[in-house]
Structure 1
Amino acid sequence: MSNQDNQDDVLRWVERVATFCVEEWALPPITGRILGLLMICDPPERSAGEIAEAIQASRASLTSNMRFLATIGLIRKVRVPGDRTTYYRIEDDAWHKVVQRKLDGLSAFDDIADEGMALASGNGLDAQRIRSAQRALTWLRDIAAHNPLQP
């Protein structure tokens, strides 16, 4: 396989990651492309310019998405001694953080459901819909509690 073939395969995979991030988490495609590239690149660090070139993104769009990913703790800046360029790499526990945030959100729904049940006042269809959502999310939260993620 030629280097170009491998590069094309990598970019197709990066695009699949981007599609997943768009469909599952409603993230912009560029955010998913950044994550995909930083997961598969070797060495694991890339400069903003290298990332922009690889995923064919504008520097302006890239900068705001890199800032977002750094703020939520999925990527970090890396400095190389003697090199003035800032590099970025995906955090080793990035996916653990993503999943943990989702699980934390499930717990937050309990309070919302309790408030909804008080508003629904009883056993009507509205209360049944709220109770159904609460049972499903509690079930998922309980599964995660019995099978904790390891970073």
Structure 2
Amino acid sequence: MTALSGPAEHLALSLTQGGMQRMTARVLAALLFTQEEAMTAGDIVEALGISSGSVSTALKSLSTVGLIERVPAPGSRRDHFRVREGAWARLMSGQNAIVTVMRDAAEQGIRAAGADSPAGRRLAEMRDFYDYLWRELPALIDRWQTKQADQAGPTTQAD
């Protein structure tokens, strides 16, 4: 089995500890650490020494959440994949659905436990936290995207 480099394996382990499936984390690490612009599923199978089924499942999962994309490769009939530009902001934008689910669950818990109960007070803190995230996350992502665009600056060619 071919292993990822130390830093890539560390990243994959960190992603796994954060809740990502192990093979999905390894595939994402391979795509992040490759020196190529994109990789085919076969390239990933070879690099990681894992089954094509595991790679296929991981690629589908990463595509679904918007972290990776298929890209054309002139002269090749195989799909090529790369990490999508702006992937991290896209991923966090997608977290808004989770924020809403958590906030709604806390609100239901407050109604069930009673607002003045110890459980109700704990759940109110949870609800208030997710309310705060709901309000702040879009602006935070917008500021990040503006900062990235400002850093990229205008593209000019030297004479």
1:19 aligns with 2:13: yes
Deviation at 1:63, TM superposition (A): 1.2
Distance 1:38 1:13 in 2: 13
Change beyond 3 A, Cα 1:51–1:42: same
CA contact (8 A) 2:66 2:91 kept: no
* C-alpha displacement of 1:18: 0.9
Deviation at residue 103 of structure 1 after TM alignment: 3.9
Secondary structure of 2:7 counterpart: helix
Change over 3 Å in CA distance of 1:117–1:85 after alignment to 2: same
Distance, in Å, in 1 between the alignment partners of 2:53 and 2:104 is: 39
The letter for the 2-side match of 1:35 is: L
SS at match of 2:6: helix
Quote how far apart the aligned CAs of 1:75 are.
Answer: 1.3
More displaced stretch, 123-132 vs 113-122: 113-122
Tell whether the 8 Å contact from 1:75 to 1:89 is kept in structure 2 after alignment.
yes
> 1:39, 1:103 → 2: CA distance?
24
Report the 3-state secondary structure (helix = DSSP H, G, I; strand = E; otherwise coil) of the residue aligned with 1:114: helix
Alignment of 1:129-148 (within 5 A): 129-148=122-141
Partners of 1:19 and 1:82 in 2: CA distance? 35
1:39 maps to amino acid:
L
Task: Name the structure 2 match of 1:97.
Answer: 90
Shift, 1:29, TM fit: 1.6
Note the alpha carbon deviations across 1:66-121, whole angstroms, 9 max, x for none: 12212222212222122222211111122112222224422333322222211122
SS of residue in 2 equivalent to 1:65: helix
Are 2:32 and 2:83, in contact at CA under 8 Å, matched by a contact in 1?
yes
Matched residues, number: 143
Conserved in 2, the CA contact under 8 Å of 1:69 and 1:75? yes
Q: Percent identity among equivalent residues?
A: 22
Residues 1:40 and 2:33 are matched in the alignment: yes
Alpha-carbon distance in 2 for matches of 1:101, 1:16: 25
Structure 2 match to 1:126? 119
User: Within 2, Cα distance between the matches of 1:145 and 1:73?
Assistant: 17
| 2:49 matched residue in structure 1 | 56
| Residue identity opposite 1:28 in structure 2 | Q
